[in-house]
């Protein structure tokens, strides 16, 4: 199978390329890092890249929370306009198979249950609560403490920052393309991906990368809030394997299917900082109590649908992956 991999020279994309080659497929890298003309917003460049292609693995995106809301036009341009241009070219070229790099950020907060009111949907956290160190959302009905749990693909979506909004728009565009063309679209909703090749020293990198960069400078990792916020850290090689599984599975024509792509084993951000510090041999993390309004408190994955339908399972254990990541060479961009 000949697969166009947009963003194929990036962090996740490069691992997808390796995984495809290892399984006997022919990846075609389309990335501005290696070719300044390879921009998914350029119809001519995309049309040329689609020649002879059987399917597309769309990894190109602007990621992370960014520096400020001033980044919004660039996020929308790169993520949503780029996806629209790509899908229009695929419709014209007759390419009918897409795997999209989705994200768990489309959910907003994760799944919460109240002892009295069952599963509830807390609203955005108030600045007054965050400033007072009240980080966990309360039941919107009675104000009681909530128990966080894994979120499934059928949960309501509630994007709470610009990046999240653009990732949801990508899914809607892909679904519209699938209905219009009879194509097959899969969105792999990545949780916190980490591993070799992860970008560093940029507001668009992930939290594990921030921690490792601090350790490389001889500094203690700085942990926001109280460090107890839960995430699902999934290794990049496992994510690459999920992409190959989605590309080679029996497609569902005319629709988009979403799959959570996580390890299934939640860890706190504080645990992650401590694991990296121990593996690196650096100073212990510092819990700052600081917060970012765009962050959610807990978001972890129920990836059972991906396991059951595509036969995928994560192979890299958290402890092993963090040890490897602590010593892995990062990208400089």
The domain tally of the chain equals 1
pTM for this structure? Answer: 0.93
* Residue 119 belongs to some domain of the structure: no
Which CATH number covers residue 24? 3.40.50.720
* Residue 198 belongs to some domain of the structure: yes
Predicted pLDDT of residue 330? 44
Nearest to residue 151, comparing CAs of 106, 117, 186?
106
291 is catalytic: no
- Alpha helix (H) ranges present in 147-291? 162-181, 207-216, 236-248, 269-280
Element (H, E) at 163: helix 162-181
* Residue 140 belongs to some domain of the structure: no
- List of residues 6+ apart from 250 with CB closer than 8 A: none
* Residue 38 belongs to some domain of the structure: yes
Predicted pLDDT of residue 332? 37
Predicted pLDDT of residue 160? 86
Predicted pLDDT of residue 246? 98
Candidate list 163, 190, 194, 291, residue with the active-site label: 163
Predicted pLDDT of residue 333? 34
* Residue 302 belongs to some domain of the structure: yes
Interstrand relation of 97-103 and 111-114 (parallel, antiparallel or unpaired): unpaired
Q: 110: helix, coil or strand?
A: coil
* Residue 126 belongs to some domain of the structure: no
Residues of the chain predicted below pLDDT 50: 330-333
Predicted pLDDT of residue 329? 54
- List of residues 6+ apart from 73 with CB closer than 8 A: none
Range of the domain at 249: 2-110+151-327
* Residue 141 belongs to some domain of the structure: no
* Residue 106 belongs to some domain of the structure: yes
CB 121 within 8 A of CB 138: no
Predicted pLDDT of residue 130? 95
């Amino acid at each position: 199978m000949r697969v166009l991999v947009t963003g194929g020279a990036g962090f996740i994309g490069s691992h997808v390329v390796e995984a495809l080659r290892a399984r006997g497929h022919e990846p075609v890298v389309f990335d501005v890092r290696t070719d300044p003309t390879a921009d998914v917003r350029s119809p001519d460049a995309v049309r040329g890249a689609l020649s002879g292609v059987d399917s597309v693995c769309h990894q190109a995106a602007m990621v992370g929370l960014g520096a400020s809301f001033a980044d919004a036009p660039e996020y929308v341009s790169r993520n949503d306009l780029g996806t629209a241009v790509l899908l229009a070219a695929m419709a014209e070229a007759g390419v009918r198979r897409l795997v999209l790099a989705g994200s768990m950020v489309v959910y907003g907060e994760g799944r919460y249950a109240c002892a009295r009111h069952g599963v509830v949907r807390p609203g955005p956290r108030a600045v007054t609560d965050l400033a007072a160190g009240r980080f966990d959302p309360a039941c919107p009905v009675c104000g009681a403490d909530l128990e966080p749990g894994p979120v499934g693909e059928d949960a309501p979506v509630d994007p709470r920052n610009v990046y999240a909004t653009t990732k949801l728009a990508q899914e809607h565009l892909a679904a519209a393309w699938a209905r219009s063309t009879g194509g097959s679209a899969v969105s792999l909703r990545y949780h916190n991906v980490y591993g070799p090749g992860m970008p560093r020293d940029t507001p668009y990198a992930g939290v594990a990368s921030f921690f490792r960069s601090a350790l490389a400078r001889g500094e203690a990792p700085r942990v926001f809030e109280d460090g107890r916020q839960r995430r699902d850290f999934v290794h990049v090689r496992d994510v690459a394997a999920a992409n190959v599984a989605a590309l080679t599975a029996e497609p569902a024509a005319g629709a988009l299917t979403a799959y959570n792509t996580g390890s299934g084993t939640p860890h706190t951000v504080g645990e992650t900082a401590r694991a990296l510090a121990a593996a690196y041999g650096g100073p212990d993390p510092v819990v700052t109590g600081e917060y970012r309004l765009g962050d959610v408190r807990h978001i972890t994955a129920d990836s059972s649908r991906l396991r059951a339908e595509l036969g995928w399972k994560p192979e890299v254990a958290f402890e092993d992956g963090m040890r490897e990541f602590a010593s892995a060479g990062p990208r400089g961009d």
